[in-house]
Amino acid sequence: MSLRGGGPIEELAIPSGTTVEEHDVVVDGDVLVGGQSTVELGVRGRNVAIGERVSVGDDIEAEGDCRLDTWCSVDGNVLVGEDAYLGERVTVTGRLMVSGDLDIGDDVTIEEGFEANGWIVIRNPVPTIVFYFIVLSQLLRVGETDAADELAEALADGDDVRDPLLIPRSAEIADDAWRVSTPATVGDDCRLHGNLRAASIRVGERNEVFGSLRAREDITVGAETVIHGDVTTRGGTVTVEAGARVLGDVSAGDLVVYDGAEIQGTLRARGEMKLVQRTGPETVADEVEEGGGAEAGGSDGVDSEEPDGVDSEESDGVGDDDADPGDGPENETTESAREDDAPETDGESDAEGTAAVTADAGAATEGVESENDS
């Protein structure tokens, strides 16, 4: 089993309910940090595992176990509710408080001293939980799935399963920015501070992000999520779902905005701009395809640089009939009979299914209308 390479953590995964309180990242589940990362905030979680050569800029509080790998540095205190494992050459500028057992490696520096209520063993520690995971991976490798399930159930010990906070290798987590070179996923009901920089970003529902989103690939903003900044992607697709608010500009290769979304800045799309309106089970969309890109002002709705950029094929398909205002679903037979008797007309159609998007600087809302030349 190789210990080198890109590492097992392939993305930045922020679980639901994560909050940034003052200078700490607070999660309900576990915290796993990849090697050679910089975390300028404090960490509070259930079990905390820090990889090698990781720098933590504030206190670490773990309800369960805490593991600090070799060459880690913590600029603050380390408070552990159960057992602690410190590798070689770990530096803690504050105090180490352990309620359970303490395994500690060589050349460890704890400037304000330590206290442990259980056994204290000075060695190069290998935690028991790590040994269990090695056995579990070997069982899965040889195909012993039943034995692996039994071991996993024994390790769970009836505890509720919570999604962990995963920070990939060589990440930079600070109060002003979260920078990773992998995809990033944010759960629901989170409150985050700082700009988010990743390969691709997916933000769940009912979140509040005090910063901007920037990615090389796709970005998705979930329903009822508020972004206090810009949303920018180099060549991917930006999707803003219904009820989401972006208090800045949106720039993308392709842009998909659902009805009910609010964008207070400018919309820019190099490729296709799609405005989607949901009417019950059906979805109606207007597409603006521009060879040189499309741009929309914050209070003027969606303006196209080329008048012929609106695709009229969809309008021709749905607007061939002239519908009277009083007609309802019960008059479909009468309408079809009237169509057989009516003369054919070329080029006359009523544009239907126009999609609306709120893109204003205040509370103004304007629709997008599609008209065909008679």
3-state secondary structure of 109: strand
How many Å apart are CA 302 and CA 269, to the nearest integer?
11
**How far from each other are the two terminal CA atoms of the chain, in whole angstroms?**
71
The residue among 5 and 187 whose pLDDT is bigger is: 187
Per-residue pLDDT at 21 exceeds 90: no
Q: Which residues of 125-137 are buried (b: 16+ CB within 10 A; e: fewer)?
A: bebebeeeeeebe
Q: What is the mean pLDDT of the chain?
A: 76
pTM, two decimal places: 0.69
Partners of 108 in beta bridges: none
| Mean pLDDT computed over 81-107 | 93
- Residue with token string 């994560």: 18
- Give the tens place of pLDDT for each residue, 199-238: 999 999 999 999 999 999 999 999 999 999 999 998 899 9
Residues 167, 168, 171: CA angle, nearest 5 degrees: 85
How many Å apart are CA 96 and CA 84, to the nearest integer?
9
Would you state the structure tokens that stand for residue 347, as one six-digit string?
Answer: 């080029």
Q: What is the pLDDT of residue 124?
A: 62
- Residue with token string 């408070």: 79
Q: What is the CA radius of gyration of the chain?
A: 28
3-state secondary structure of 138: helix
- Give the tens place of pLDDT for each residue, 295-333: 655 434 444 334 343 343 343 433 444 434 444 444 443
Q: List CB contacts of 135: < 8 A, sequence separation 6 or more.
A: 151
- Give the tens place of pLDDT for each residue, 336-354: 334 444 444 343 333 333 3
For 19, half-sphere exposure in the C-beta direction (CA atoms, 13 angstrom radius) is 6
| Mean pLDDT computed over 178-193 | 95
Answer whether 200's CB lies under 8 Å from 183's CB: yes
Q: Residue 282 — φ and ψ, nearest 5°?
A: -95, 155
